Structure 1
């Protein structure tokens, strides 16, 4: 079993962070201000879904540093705008050095925008199949919030999938989404605050207000 102290780094500001969030200033800022904080709008969830898809096989730092380019190239991740992209836009994006130029991921993002719009007209979506017509991608993702969350002491104890991420991936795939495997969906849930995998001892543990230190949900 690894020593928890090996997986947390105390910065010059006296705050403890996991190793991955302590390597560069931009990762520290992202960890301190964004990662794991609740994001509940359709556009926010769609953006993160798209970026998680682009991250597949790459580091998050690579994606984070290109996020301004992604936002510019994909119309600030407005699902309606991206859903209207055609083949000319795909070719434009393949020539855009500000993003990851991967045809499959680009086409998946466009397909996912169209699937996001289709969800608005769907009935019976979500973890319990009870979300009404007019619900959004954000509503669907948040419906998979677990009853209890993990309380990892070390990086090795942080899960990479869960029953909920597997079920979410299955539903999204059935509804036409791409690049939405269980591991990617668990990372999405972590980033949005649907689950809290901050290490015990990190200054960010429980900071979303949705979970206490033990992984018990707050009202």
Structure 2
């Protein structure tokens, strides 16, 4: 949870939490995820670790001045953090919403606090390309694009009839407006293509089938 909420908003805490999540998660998968031990993702992780160790070892003995003092496997392990996260989610919609909601909230708040903050938003709305203080100009709108796709996917649940519907609708509308604005003022052609492609896949695989089922049910 700490990793999801603070990785962007507070990197001093979020980055160590990311490493800890990757390590403890992979250990948990190895001990408790019996069916996953020999799965394709775990096999890829093992192969990547072996390649990294082999590359570092050969470089260390051939040109030690060109390599780091350790193979830095922690960086490699972070690339496979999705294994631990997916195992913990275990197909639970509630856990997925919780984790995604924390990450979304942390990133939206970070966009108003990091980098230029509100001044950067103003500059973006005036036509300048901005990056929201997230690494470079590509990462900011890319994360907003992911947020926008998530908001679209979870829209039926967020807008469904039930308790707090008005509040949920207002929050969803506000976050969608912010995410869409972030994509538009900070994106380049690649980001826009990614969002459009993702939206098309969502419409084709989720929205249209759901609409068709509702029509059949009403008949």
Same fold (TM over 0.5): no
- Higher relative contact order, chain-length normalized (CA < 8 Å, sep 6+): 1
Larger Cα Rg: Structure 1 or Structure 2?
Answer: 2
TM-score computed with the length of structure 1 as normaliser: 0.28
TM-score (norm 2): 0.28
